[in-house]
Structure 1
Amino acid sequence: MALNGDVCVVTGACGFLGKRLTRLLLEEEKLSEIRLVDRQIKLEDVQSFKDCRGDTRVLSRASTVFHMASIIDVTGAVERSELYGVNVKGTQMLLEACIEENVSSFIYTSSIEVMGPNASREPIHNGTEDTVYECSLKFAYSKTKKEAEQRSLEANGELLPDGTQLATCALRPMYIYGEGCRFLLGHMTDGVRNKNVLYRVSLPDAKVNPVYVGNVAVAHLQAARGLKDPNKRNTIGGRFYNISDDTPAVSYSDFNHVLMSPLGFHIQDKLPLPLSLLYVLCFLLEMVSAILRPLIRFVPPLNRPLLTMLNTTFTFTYKKAQAELGYVPRYTWQEARNSTLEWLAEQLPAIRDEVKA
């Protein structure tokens, strides 16, 4: 069911995924209005949008909210209070405002990291939404995303002032890659500094299944269409969905190499140290960080939870999203790879100049 005539709100609209969804909405839906909420608006080439920074009326007459805004942090660089304030409190405040303004549909962008992995590095192969997995989350980021997801799903069915009910759902994408991915740029920059050799921080057999940004945007659109459809609304409302595509399962480090090898990059054969010693090193760095904290803020480049994430097989299917949302990846692996490679090639000269400077 199309969103024709609707007013849609996108938070985090200038982010990696937010930009892609905004363009998709403008291309495929005849919306009455699309309102973009972000701390910075850089979509100069997009004409049919409204910049709603700081506008308390942003939700007035809105029918669908895509809540993508959050702080992503896996190194501990951001204070826990700031993460909680944005990721949890911000989501709660937005939900309350949606109820007050009779917003009918709310789609929360979660993350597969709310699932794990756990400290024992127990693997998941082709997991589903029903997979049982014991995990005590260690990242402050993962904890706040999990709580925000729970609050979003618990709000499903809330009675609105106009007598209707709010319908919510959450999408859990895998690691998202594609044009604009800052993590890929960071790895490529490190590779340039290391004489075109990418660092290995994950074991080859620790496989994950990344997902292309264009396909994640399509999944969000399908979720919104589903929540608008009276025949699907009750099925989708209150549920979360794993979002992956047909990108081959590979380790994080080898995935970087797959994308960047055509640009002349190689990759280290082995981890710089055995995995057990890397855990010891991370522990020592965390202790140094704790000791120095009263004086200076030292953020180790690698920590134990991140090391666990990078070295645990963690793959999931999108079958439930396909069955209930009608989600089908629009871009093939080859198309996604080619588009990402082309973008990386465009960024490489500037990165090389920056490293030389």
Structure 2
Amino acid sequence: MSLRGEVCVVTGACGFLGERLVRLLLEEEKTAEIRLLDKRIQLQVLQSLEDCRGDTKLTPFEGDIQDADFLRKACRGASMVFHIAAIIDVTDSVEYSEIYGVNVKGTQLLLEACIQENVSTFIYTSTVEVMGPNPRGDPLIKGNEDTVYSSSLKFNYSKTKKDAEERTLQAHGEVLQSGGRLATCALRPMYIYGEGSHFLLGHMDDGIRNRDVLLRMSVKEALVNPVYVGNVAFAHLQAARSLIDPQKRNTVGGKFYFISDDTPPVSYSDFNHAVMSPLGFSIQEKLPVPLRFFYIFCFFLETLCMILRPFIRITPPLNRQLLTMLNTTFTFSYQKAKNDLGYVPRYSWEEARKCTTEWLASQLPMEREKIMSK
């Protein structure tokens, strides 16, 4: 199925994944209009899309996702929503009320706007972290949508994304004002990498400060399977095509899908090294201290911050749950997305690594200058 003639709303359109999806829609689909919804619309993003815009109308919508009237205006006359916008926080540095307001309340208001404005298709960008890992660090290898995994989510980010995902899937089949029905699905990508990743830049900056030696925060045995941003964007496109296909709508609607690709399973730290080693970075062979002492250190750090919280809010850069996430084997298959959505990774590991490394190389001089000037 083609999205020709569709009017699409993309939330978080100026972000890492959102911009990539908008570009893909412009390059591959003859959509009538794409509405770029973000808290702040970046002029450079709009300018960068001009080279592939064609006849598609690009309409910026700058506003708050917690503003119901703003969302209704953005959805009026649209036929499809890609909901990517979210607060990502793995250090619990954001107040719960703020992250809940954006991740949960914002999603609920957007679903209600779709029903009121007769938007029939809704694709939600979830995350693998709604699955875990659990605080015990139980490993999971090649999990799928039927895998049972005992998890007690600790991060507010994970909890709010799980809540928003459930609301999205429960909204499938809701009656629109026009009498039609809403079709929804959710995608759970692994850790997303590629051009524009602030996380990769942060790890590179740490390596620069450490004399071009990347910090090791995960043991080599803790395998995960990161996914390239271009493949995640393509999975969104395939989900949209499936939801507007009358033959697939009932199969896909109301379901979630794990999105990975053929990036080799590797630890988070060793993945950083895989994309940065061509730039001259090496990596610490072992954790700075044994893992058990890392946990003890984090426990005391968290306790100290809790004691100080009535007087001053300090967020430790590392906590026990983040340490668990970085050191737990947690891999998933994309087979169900392949079967139901027709998703097959658009980019190979070799292509994804090359593009990512070249982008990091383009950023390296600026990052060095920024760090050296401090």
**Under a length normalisation based on structure 2, what TM-score does the superposition of the two structures give?**
0.94
Q: What does residue 129 of structure 1 align with?
A: 145
Map residues 160-175 of structure 1 onto 2, 5 A cutoff.
160-175=176-191
Q: What does residue 49 of structure 1 align with?
A: 58
3-state SS of paired residue (2:124): strand
The reply on whether 1:331 has 2:347 as its aligned counterpart is: yes
- Separation in structure 1 between the aligned mates of residue 324 and residue 262 of structure 2, nearest angstrom: 24
3-state SS of paired residue (1:240): strand
Give a deviation string over 1:32-78, Cα, whole Å, max 9, x none: 11101001222122244101124441111111100000000001111
- Separation in structure 2 between the aligned mates of residue 350 and residue 103 of structure 1, nearest angstrom: 43
Q: What does residue 67 of structure 2 align with?
A: none
| 2:158 aligns with one of 139, 142, 152 | 142
- Separation in structure 1 between the aligned mates of residue 101 and residue 73 of structure 2, nearest angstrom: 21
Q: What does residue 18 of structure 1 align with?
A: 18
What's the offset of the Cα at 1:297?
1.7
Give a deviation string over 1:134-184, Cα, whole Å, max 9, x none: 000000000000000000000000011211110000000000000000000
Q: What does residue 37 of structure 2 align with?
A: 37
Task: Tell whether the 8 Å contact from 2:41 to 2:61 is kept in structure 1 after alignment.
Answer: no
Name whichever of 161-170 and 206-215 sits farther off: 161-170
The reply on whether 1:224 has 2:224 as its aligned counterpart is: no
What's the offset of the Cα at 1:120?
1.3
The reply on whether 1:286 has 2:302 as its aligned counterpart is: yes
Q: What does residue 193 of structure 2 align with?
A: 177
The reply on whether 1:3 has 2:6 as its aligned counterpart is: no
Q: What does residue 238 of structure 1 align with?
A: 254
3-state SS of paired residue (1:52): strand
Map residues 1-357 of structure 1 onto 2, 5 A cutoff.
1-42=1-42, 43=45, 44-47=47-50, 48-54=57-63, 55=70, 56-357=72-373
3-state SS of paired residue (1:49): strand
One-letter amino acid matched to 1:10 = V
One-letter amino acid matched to 1:24 = L
How many residue pairs get aligned? The number is 357
Structure 2 residues without counterparts, runs of 5 or longer:
51-56, 64-69
3-state SS of paired residue (1:256): helix
**Under a length normalisation based on structure 1, what TM-score does the superposition of the two structures give?**
0.99
- Separation in structure 2 between the aligned mates of residue 93 and residue 162 of structure 1, nearest angstrom: 18
One-letter amino acid matched to 2:146 = D
